[in-house]
Chains A and B, each alone.
Chain A
Amino acid sequence: MVSGLINANPVVYERKERRIRDPVAHADEFPYKWYMHADIKDPEHPYSLEELKVVTEDAVEVDDKHSHVRVTFTPTVEHCSMATVIGLCLRVKLMRSLPSRYKVDIKVAPGTHATEAAVNKQLNDKERVAAALENPNLVEMVDQCLTPTYA
């Protein structure tokens, strides 16, 4: 593995201002689309995925009727080896936050990663995800990335 940071100097974008939803008016609005991804921390940098524009609000599609969620994310650099970890974070976050009836698809945005197909396959393979979550180091890392989302 590489010793240094993969993308040592990422471009940081401003956080999108949270839409403050009126709790009464939107209380029953399903699904809660955005708030839960925005604060996931990047595995490499002390910034959230939103600040690095890895995930944007538009990249999350939710179909409540058919219980389906699709997330498309954009790694910061093409050869980013963290892409799988980011994808795993997204999946774990969704697994823990969504009711079990949802099917979750996580994809790398087309053309933004060198091994796009491989990453996509890995992320949407139940067995592999389960195996990855058996690995304590990975779980620890994922948990650390997710911690700020619960703050």
Chain B
Amino acid sequence: MAKTSSWIPHIEAFVDSTRPPNQQNASLDAIVSLVKNDLLTIETLVKEMGLYLTTTDNVIRARGILLLADLLTCLATKPLDHATIHSLIGFFTERLADWQALHGALVGCLALLRRKSTAGVVIDSDAKALVQSYLQNIQVQSLAKDDRKLCFEMLECLLDRYPATVATLGDDLIYGICEAIDGEKDPECLMVMFHLVEVLAQLFPDPSGPLAGFAEEVFDVLGRYFPIHFTHPINNEYGVKRDDLSRALMLAFSSTPLFEPFAIPLLLEKLSSSLPAAKVDSLKYLSNCLVKYGADKVEKHAKAIWSSLKDAICTSSSQDPIFSIVSQKQDGIGFQENEIAKEALVCLQKFILQDDVLVLSLILGDEEIETILSSVTSIKRYNDIPKESKQKLHAVGCMLSISAKVSTPCCNKVFQKFFCRLMDILGISTESSSRGISDGTHELSEELNFGALYLCIELLDACRCSVMGSKEHSPQPVSAEETWCCLITDFSGPLTGALHYILGTSMNGNTSEADIHCGVKGLQILATFPGGSLPISKSIFESILTIFVSVISDSREDTLLWRLTLNALKEVGIFIDELHDSEKVLSFMTIVVEKVISLISLSESSMPLPLRLEAISVVGAAGQNFMLRAIQVLEEAISENFFYASVDGNLKSAEILVPLLECYSNKVLPWFHNSGDFEDVAFRFAVSIWNQVESNKTFNIGVQRKELLGEMMTAMRLAVAGCSEDIQGLIVQKAYSVLASSTFFPLKDVFSVPAKLEELQLTKVVDSLSCRDEWLISLFASVIIALRPRTPLVNVRVILKLFTIVLLKGHVPAAQALGSITNKLPLNINSVEVSSACTLEEAMDVIFNMGLQSASDSGPSRKGSAMDGGDVGLIDFCLNVGNSSLTQTNAVVGLAWIGKGLLMRGHEKLKDVVMILLRCLLLTGSVSPLPLQQDMLGECKEQDMHPTVIRSAADAFDVLLSDSNVCLNKRFHATIKPLYKQHFFYTMMPILLSSIKDSDSSTTRSMLYRAFGHVISNTPLAAVVTEAKRVIFALLDALPMLSLDVRDKDLTYSLLLVLSGIIMDESGREAVTENAHIIINRLIGLISYRQMMLVRETAIQCLVAVSGLPHTRIYPMRTQVLQAISKALDDPKRIVRQEAGRCRQAWVSIASGSTGANIRYCQGSSSFLNGTARPGLNQDYNSETSL
């Protein structure tokens, strides 16, 4: 036991209301821990506290009781014995009468009531005493908000935990609760209170019980809150949203059937209100209440409910039935109306579910529906129907389809009543069936009635939905006896004929879009009816497919009909594929797939190739079997055309091949990626291409070869990238063997006889690669780019050398492949592995020093350089001024890609690469080099680099940092070190900045700025902003320098975006404020940037942002800005003018002293009028204006 003296001070601290709150909390914690660890019993504590709990000083007594209550709240899990709980609850119950110290008592009661049964709970008799004391003593509505909430929570807890005990109080309890909740307004309390009513209703379910007498009063209190009107902003401090409140109230409404006589009239009344939100709420409540109250209670309101629902649906369903067919999405305007219609339909469905006989008789016997039907069907053409009638038609369609969807008997009734009639109006009879189908035309001489057609299709759709059931259930078996089934079986033939007629006439172009939608949708529904040959026979199914296919293959252009039909075919395909109906799958395969894929080989088809390809890919996408068949044909077509294109130089084949490959890599490969079987397909493709390349020695592709090669490389990359390591290994081996066996390049000779280099070097500069060589190398590079890091590579050294040589000829894919290899090669390997394997170190050695004796005399003299001297490698090509500038440029580009590979994996060799690039940049004239490069530069010839080389060195930084979608990304399995860009940024920035500072030639400096621009525009903004202070000067100098050259406009724009990012960011604010003057000058300069509208627009937006800086900083610039802006007001582009207007307003208002730019004007207050009413009296107001 702890000594009394050790914890008494804590009590004193807590009770003393002058102490700071944290001290009070600390003392409470101290006492809690004492009791928890059994160093102090509650009895002792209470005894010692005695006076604090009973003193006549209200404040101290309240604090004392609160201490005890808080203590109990903290001890919720500590077991207490029965006697303690009994005496404590007795104490608190008694204290409820003490209004001055009520808060503590409420907290205490609640803490005790909420205890878990394992830790000791309040017994029933005590609970009862508590309720009695509560009902007698507490006037809830006169208390503060927190206490009210506690009261409600306590009642809720009592009702939850002691239902039997509390129920014995009967009327008193209900009366007390009524009184307590009457007039409550706080949202948090309301949440508890609504739940309280719900629990109360569950407590007295008896229709003749105590609640029955009070139902009206309780509902009277409750009903006032409906509909919930809650205007607090979304992130209010309560954390209570309107939806929460509304849901809680809804549960309270529907908690007991006793509310029915009051609730339903109220809801129906509010349903006719003009507030959309109230309507939606009423409908939600109504559907919930209908379910909860039960059929017999609702019966007497049925008529009223039906007519209200009908009104709601008719007035608020979307205007145009066509839109609902085309797509579910609606534009924003009709949104709320649609919400109402949607809720109304949900409600109608629940209503029918409750009592289908009664409600259906109401619906089917409704006169209004009858009138609408006869009025709409009296007009034939869609375009002639007035807008209101369209809306009504849509509403009727929705109502009928909802009723038919509910259950099979309902479906039967609706069909019986309407279907035959609609068929009659359409002029379709069962007799015409045989003729209608067989000759493919319909005997109808005139157009079909749109209204009837629309309703008929809605009915069919509903019927199909009701048979399909929900997604989880398998479709119900269809029985032939059902009325709907008989009707559909009877009419399916003639109906198909009629719909075919619509599609047929629309091919001639004289049918409205609405009819086309209906026609295609109708056929699609008929084709996707579940259940074998019932109700749709096989012959009809097949004839529908034939109709669709003929539409697809006869079309010459991309029309609405064509799109819709293709989509319908896809849906049908997906449906039967999921159903595993082998018979229908077979029909689909023979009728649709075979026909569509035969389109591809038709060279003389009038249909454009992209359309044919789209048809194939879409139809194929419906199912695995279909796609496998489609790809077979596609592959054949590709290889055939490739053959003709490459051997005969057939231009036409080459032309065809491009879209074929596009389709293959954009549609087919991704599909297989998602559905499996990718590897087989991709492997087959890659190998077949390589086989063709191998067998074909005379490559002869003409004009289109660049585009074709590009597509082929993309397809190859994508195919290889998706494969596993093993398959990739096979493909690489295949590719390598083709490459090695080729005659064009004596691979081995080159590498074993070094002397040839010079020769090589000379020729390669002059000639470009021959066509076949280029294809070989490019395809091989594509394979290499797409490899996974673990895929074994054969003869890495040879490959590396080959690529290095080729890249010097300006072959970018080779450079990218090199980058990929350096990115993915392992750092070290086990000695056991294949001898041809190679580590990154070795690879870098190979690349940089190719082991070729150089003929150039600079070779031996460079022994001391960072790389091993004596040999000629990539670096020498970059720096050796003796070479032609073209070779140098190519070498720099290659180096950039290799550097990118290294950078992304975070390898230290990157430093060498960057140093070489910097050397290229700094090598103009007699520049004093950086100390870091002193040794490298020392022996270099002091000759000028060619400007293009320098430029490419600057652009190399763009290659290094920007994301490429061709190689070195996630898709092609690059090794990516997290935050590599940020790291590079932090290391490069000081070097670049100091070089800029030291350089005195303007060319060098402008190139350094280019490099700098590339680096910061590609680094994530967050990193740049943290360095804003250091970067901003260079950034501001770079902008005018770069804006001089038109070729740099994109870079200028991205730099401007960086600047705007810094301006907008909080942490960049300081740097911006300090340099406001320069920034504004630069921005003004860019306002008149002729070459790019985006630059002008962004510059003006930045100026707007700058106007938010402290006045003292920007005020001096004001005239200048306004002058510049007034020119921008006459800008040829509208967006710029608009921004200029905004900017001008912002700058004008900083001067006028008004806060126009910053104040969000609060709508609804018009008090500012008073100021203007008597302008003379407020003269002292303009102190700021006279600035």
Q: A137-B1181, A143-B1152 are in contact. Are A28 and B1133 (CB under 8 A)?
A: yes
Within 8 A of A (CB), among B1122-1163: 1126-1127, 1129-1130, 1132-1135, 1137-1138, 1141-1142, 1144-1146, 1148-1149, 1152-1157, 1159-1161, 1163
- What 0/1 readout, one digit per residue, does chain B (1153-1185) give for beta carbons within 8 Å of chain A? 111110111011110110111110010011001
Which residues of B have CB within 8 Å of A143?
A: 1149, 1152, 1154-1156
Cα A50 to Cα B742 in complex, Å, equals 77
Which residues of B have CB within 8 Å of A147?
A: 1156, 1159-1161
Smallest distance from the beta carbon of A91 to chain B beta carbons, Å?
14
Which residues of A have CB within 8 Å of B1169?
A: 43-44
The interface-forming segment of A72-80, A93-101, A118-126 is A93-101
- What 0/1 readout, one digit per residue, does chain A (79-103) give for beta carbons within 8 Å of chain B? 0000001000000000011111100
Cα A100 to Cα B1129 in complex, Å, equals 8
Which residues of B have CB within 8 Å of A32?
A: 1134, 1137-1138
State whether B1166 touches A45 (Cβ < 8 A).
yes
State whether B1181 touches A136 (Cβ < 8 A).
yes
A135 is an interface residue with CB less than 8 A from chain B: yes
Within 8 A of A (CB), among B1098-1143: 1126-1127, 1129-1130, 1132-1135, 1137-1138, 1141-1142
B1156 to A, closest residue via Cβ: A143
Smallest distance from the beta carbon of B952 to chain A beta carbons, Å?
34
State whether A150 touches B1142 (Cβ < 8 A).
yes
Which residues of A have CB within 8 Å of B1137?
A: 32, 97
State whether A27 touches B1161 (Cβ < 8 A).
no
State whether A23 touches B1135 (Cβ < 8 A).
yes
Cα A45 to Cα B1169 in complex, Å, equals 10
State whether B1173 touches A1 (Cβ < 8 A).
yes
State whether A27 touches B1156 (Cβ < 8 A).
no
Cα A112 to Cα B1165 in complex, Å, equals 27
Which residues of A have CB within 8 Å of B1134?
A: 21, 23, 26-29, 32
Q: A23-B1134, A28-B1132, A29-B1134 are in contact. Are A144 and B1156 (CB under 8 A)?
A: yes
State whether B1171 touches A98 (Cβ < 8 A).
no
A129 is an interface residue with CB less than 8 A from chain B: no
Smallest distance from the beta carbon of B1139 to chain A beta carbons, Å?
10
Cα A58 to Cα B116 in complex, Å, equals 74
Q: A36-B1141, A96-B1145, A147-B1156 are in contact. Are A140 and B1171 (CB under 8 A)?
A: yes
State whether B1154 touches A139 (Cβ < 8 A).
yes
A111 is an interface residue with CB less than 8 A from chain B: no
Cα A7 to Cα B1172 in complex, Å, equals 17
Which residues of B have CB within 8 Å of A23?
A: 1134-1135
Which residues of B have CB within 8 Å of A130?
A: none
Smallest distance from the beta carbon of A65 to chain B beta carbons, Å?
14
Which residues of B have CB within 8 Å of A28?
A: 1132-1134
Cα A99 to Cα B1124 in complex, Å, equals 11
State whether A140 touches B1154 (Cβ < 8 A).
yes
Which residues of A have CB within 8 Å of B1132?
A: 27-28
Smallest distance from the beta carbon of B928 to chain A beta carbons, Å?
50
Which residues of B have CB within 8 Å of A138?
A: 1172, 1175
- What 0/1 readout, one digit per residue, does chain B (91-104) give for beta carbons within 8 Å of chain A? 00000000000000
State whether A1 touches B1174 (Cβ < 8 A).
yes
A10 is an interface residue with CB less than 8 A from chain B: no
A146 is an interface residue with CB less than 8 A from chain B: yes
Q: A26-B1134, A100-B1126 are in contact. Are A144 and B1159 (CB under 8 A)?
A: yes
Which residues of A have CB within 8 Å of B1163?
A: 46
Cα A148 to Cα B1157 in complex, Å, equals 10
Which residues of B have CB within 8 Å of A41?
A: 1161
Q: A27-B1135, A46-B1166 are in contact. Are A137 and B1172 (CB under 8 A)?
A: yes
Which residues of A have CB within 8 Å of B1142?
A: 150
Smallest distance from the beta carbon of A16 to chain B beta carbons, Å?
13
Which residues of A have CB within 8 Å of B1181?
A: 136-137
Size of the A side of the interface (Cβ < 8 Å), in residues, is: 36
Q: Which of A27, A36, A135 contacts B1175 (CB 8 A)?
A: A135
Which residues of A have CB within 8 Å of B1166?
A: 5, 44-46
A141 is an interface residue with CB less than 8 A from chain B: yes
Cα A28 to Cα B1133 in complex, Å, equals 5
State whether A137 touches B1164 (Cβ < 8 A).
no
A28 to B, closest residue via Cβ: B1132
Cα A54 to Cα B1137 in complex, Å, equals 25
State whether A139 touches B1141 (Cβ < 8 A).
no
Smallest distance from the beta carbon of A142 to chain B beta carbons, Å?
9
State whether B1161 touches A136 (Cβ < 8 A).
no
Smallest distance from the beta carbon of B1183 to chain A beta carbons, Å?
9
Q: A136-B1185, A140-B1154, A143-B1154 are in contact. Are A150 and B1130 (CB under 8 A)?
A: no
Cα A60 to Cα B1132 in complex, Å, equals 21
Cα A140 to Cα B1148 in complex, Å, equals 12
Cα A150 to Cα B1148 in complex, Å, equals 13
- What 0/1 readout, one digit per residue, does chain A (1-23) give for beta carbons within 8 Å of chain B? 10001000000000000000101
Which residues of A have CB within 8 Å of B1157?
A: 150
A47 to B, closest residue via Cβ: B1163
Within 8 A of B (CB), among A21-62: 21, 23, 26-29, 32, 35-36, 41, 43-46
Q: A96-B1148, A136-B1154, A137-B1172 are in contact. Are A46 and B1164 (CB under 8 A)?
A: yes
A45 to B, closest residue via Cβ: B1166
State whether B1152 touches A139 (Cβ < 8 A).
yes
Smallest distance from the beta carbon of B1155 to chain A beta carbons, Å?
8
Cα A101 to Cα B1130 in complex, Å, equals 9
B1161 to A, closest residue via Cβ: A147
Smallest distance from the beta carbon of B274 to chain A beta carbons, Å?
15
State whether A140 touches B1135 (Cβ < 8 A).
no
Most buried by B among A45, A97, A139, A140: A140
Q: Which of A26, A96, A100, A141 contacts B1171 (CB 8 A)?
A: A141
Cα A35 to Cα B1139 in complex, Å, equals 13
Cα A28 to Cα B1144 in complex, Å, equals 20
Smallest distance from the beta carbon of B317 to chain A beta carbons, Å?
21
Which residues of A have CB within 8 Å of B1153?
A: 136
B1183 to A, closest residue via Cβ: A136
Which residues of A have CB within 8 Å of B1127?
A: 99
Most buried by A among B1134, B1137, B1149, B1165: B1134
State whether B1175 touches A146 (Cβ < 8 A).
no
Cα A135 to Cα B1173 in complex, Å, equals 13
Cα A21 to Cα B1138 in complex, Å, equals 13
Cα A30 to Cα B1169 in complex, Å, equals 36
Cα A146 to Cα B1169 in complex, Å, equals 15
A151 to B, closest residue via Cβ: B1160
Which residues of A have CB within 8 Å of B1164?
A: 46
Cα A143 to Cα B1157 in complex, Å, equals 8
Which residues of B have CB within 8 Å of A27?
A: 1093, 1132-1135
Cα A35 to Cα B1172 in complex, Å, equals 27
Smallest distance from the beta carbon of B330 to chain A beta carbons, Å?
15
State whether B1145 touches A99 (Cβ < 8 A).
no
Q: A140-B1168, A143-B1149 are in contact. Are A97 and B1144 (CB under 8 A)?
A: yes
24 A-B contacts, Cβ less than 8 Å apart? Answer: A27-B1093, A27-B1134, A27-B1135, A28-B1133, A32-B1137, A43-B1169, A46-B1165, A96-B1141, A98-B1129, A99-B1129, A99-B1130, A136-B1182, A137-B1171, A137-B1175, A137-B1181, A138-B1172, A138-B1175, A141-B1168, A144-B1154, A144-B1168, A146-B1145, A146-B1156, A147-B1161, A148-B1161
Given contacts A100-B1129, A150-B1146, 12 further A-B contacts (CB under 8 A): A28-B1133, A32-B1138, A44-B1169, A136-B1152, A136-B1181, A137-B1181, A138-B1175, A139-B1154, A144-B1159, A144-B1161, A146-B1145, A150-B1145
Tell me the B residues contacting A by CB distance below 8 Å: 1093, 1126-1127, 1129-1130, 1132-1135, 1137-1138, 1141-1142, 1144-1146, 1148-1149, 1152-1157, 1159-1161, 1163-1166, 1168-1169, 1171-1175, 1178, 1181-1182, 1185
Task: Please provide the 5 A-B residue pairs with the shortest distance between their CB atoms, ordered closest to farther.
Answer: A143-B1156, A136-B1182, A99-B1130, A97-B1141, A46-B1163
